[in-house]
């Protein structure tokens, strides 16, 4: 894209700046549109499972309901509690929303269709996603209210607990792919399952690792059954209790952008990303981004299905699964997988 702007007579420096801004907008705007559609899909899946109709009034099939909700919160007044720390109170949702968008810089939507194809892409995502907890913790503390503060403490403990497991799961994938580059991880999965199926999830050693990653994704995004940070029966609305208007909407956008990111990571790390499900030449005629989005929507349906059917865990159960089940299991798989790869001459 830089070369295109240079051809218009710009210097390299200006061409690079304009190309970078254009690339960011080409990713950020579709992500926001997809988040809006994801919220609609979420509500439709919940409604179907509960034998209801869901959004069906605003626009055809209710497709514009999310945009109507966005307009409503945009027009509302932003109320700041008098006893809150006003600066931190306002910056917390901005941190959550901004951090949720940063990780998309290294997500490959097709072969070569990535804003920053860096060699440490997976490490970058792991580092950036760890920053998301700051917005929640700051929001809970700055609200100067009991329930948001409880939610902030829960969020910090929960995200730290499950990031440890996710870290070891990522180690397993990196050991097999022998790279941190997202595109190369996808290409390493070509024909991996029995020489026919594209994806690490069809490997007997990596399938349990994917199950741990999927469940940890639910916990990392505070999704049911691990939504202890927003438990309405205990904490009103958790760290969002004192928020209204666009500050509340930014939390929602950040939350769903993170959920969408986790769906992409499940598809990229374990199900071949933009590769077709089967390593069969005619299937490669279909553009890779179509395969990727089909997989992502499949994972989002699983997220919605779990939310509509599984009851919320107690907090002690959440911590027990993270520290006493997933942490030792993920460590064991790191040892087993690395031993297997060395014994089979994978690095020879």
pTM, to two decimals:
0.90
Q: How many CA atoms lie within 13 A of 182 on its CB side?
A: 29
pLDDT score at 233: 64
Q: Is 278 helix (H, G, I), strand (E, B) or coil?
A: strand
Token code pair at residue 161: 């607990």
Per the DSSP assignment, residues forming a β-bridge with 197 are 193, 278
Token code pair at residue 136: 């929640």
pLDDT score at 83: 77
CA–CA dist 272, 199 (Å, integer): 4
CA–CA dist 222, 132 (Å, integer): 11
CA–CA dist 16, 345 (Å, integer): 43
What is the overall mean pLDDT for the chain? 86
* Burial label, 316 (beta-carbon count in 10 A; 0-12, 13-18, 19+): exposed
Q: Is 85 left (phi over 0), alpha (psi -120 to 50) or beta?
A: beta
- The DSSP-derived string for 76-130 is S-----TTS-HHHHHHHHHHHHHHHHHGGGG--SSTT--S---TTHHHHHHHHHT
Token code pair at residue 223: 């999704």
Q: Are 108 and 51 in contact (CB under 8 A)?
A: no
Token code pair at residue 58: 């605003």
pLDDT score at 276: 92
Residues of the chain with pLDDT under 70: 1, 231-237, 348
Q: Which H, E and C letters describe 37-86, residue by residue?
A: HHHHHHHHHHHHHCCCCCCCCCCHHHCCHHHHHHHHHHHCCCCCCCCCCH
Domain ranges of the chain: 1-75, 77-343
User: Angle of helix 327-343 relative to helix 146-177, nearest 10 degrees?
Assistant: 10
CA distances to 215, 260, 295, 334 from 208, in Å? 11, 22, 19, 12
The DSSP letter of residue 314 is: P
pLDDT score at 260: 92
Per the DSSP assignment, residues forming a β-bridge with 278 are 197
CA–CA dist 79, 247 (Å, integer): 9
* Burial label, 114 (beta-carbon count in 10 A; 0-12, 13-18, 19+): buried
CA–CA dist 274, 263 (Å, integer): 13
Q: Are 126 and 166 in contact (CB under 8 A)?
A: yes
pLDDT score at 328: 93
pLDDT score at 236: 67
Q: Phi first, then psi: give them for residue 162, nearest 5 degrees.
A: -90, -20
Other C-beta atoms closer than 10 Å to the C-beta of 171 total 17
pLDDT score at 169: 92
pLDDT score at 310: 86
pLDDT score at 301: 93
CA–CA dist 268, 160 (Å, integer): 23
pLDDT score at 3: 76
């Amino acid at each position: 894209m830089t070369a295109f702007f240079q051809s218009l007579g710009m210097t390299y420096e200006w061409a690079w700046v304009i190309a970078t801004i254009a690339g960011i907008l080409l990713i950020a705007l579709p992500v926001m549109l997809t988040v809006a559609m994801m919220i609609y899909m979420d509500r439709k899946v919940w409604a179907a499972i509960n034998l209801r109709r869901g959004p069906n009034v605003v626009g055809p099939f209710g497709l514009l309901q999310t945009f109507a909700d966005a307009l409503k919160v945009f027009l509302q007044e932003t109320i700041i509690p008098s006893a809150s720390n006003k600066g931190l109170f306002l910056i917390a949702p901005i941190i959550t929303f901004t951090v949720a968008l940063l990780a998309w810089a290294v997500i490959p939507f097709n072969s070569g269709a990535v804003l920053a194809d860096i060699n440490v892409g997976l490490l970058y995502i792991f580092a950036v996603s760890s920053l998301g907890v700051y917005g929640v913790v700051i929001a809970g503390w700055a609200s100067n209210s009991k329930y948001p503060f409880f939610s902030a403490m829960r969020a910090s403990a929960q995200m730290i607990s499950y990031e440890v497991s996710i870290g070891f799961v990522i180690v397993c994938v990196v050991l097999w792919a022998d790279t941190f580059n997202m595109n190369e991880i996808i290409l390493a999965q070509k024909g991996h399952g029995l020489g026919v199926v594209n994806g690490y999830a069809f490997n007997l050693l990596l399938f349990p690792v994917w199950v741990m990653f999927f469940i940890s994704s639910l916990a990392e995004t505070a999704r049911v059954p691990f939504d202890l940070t927003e438990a309405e029966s205990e904490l009103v609305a958790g760290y969002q209790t004192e928020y209204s208007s666009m500050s509340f909407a930014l939390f929602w956008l950040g939350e769903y952008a993170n959920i969408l990111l986790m769906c992409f990571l499940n598809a990229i790390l374990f199900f071949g990303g933009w590769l077709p499900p089967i390593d069969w030449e005619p299937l490669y005629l279909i553009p890779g981004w179509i395969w990727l989005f089909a997989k992502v929507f499949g994972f989002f349906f699983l997220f919605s299905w779990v939310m509509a059917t599984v009851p919320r865990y107690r907090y002690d159960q959440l911590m027990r699964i993270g520290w006493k089940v997933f942490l030792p299991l993920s460590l064991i798989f790191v040892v087993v997988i690395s031993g297997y790869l060395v014994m089979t001459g994978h690095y020879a």
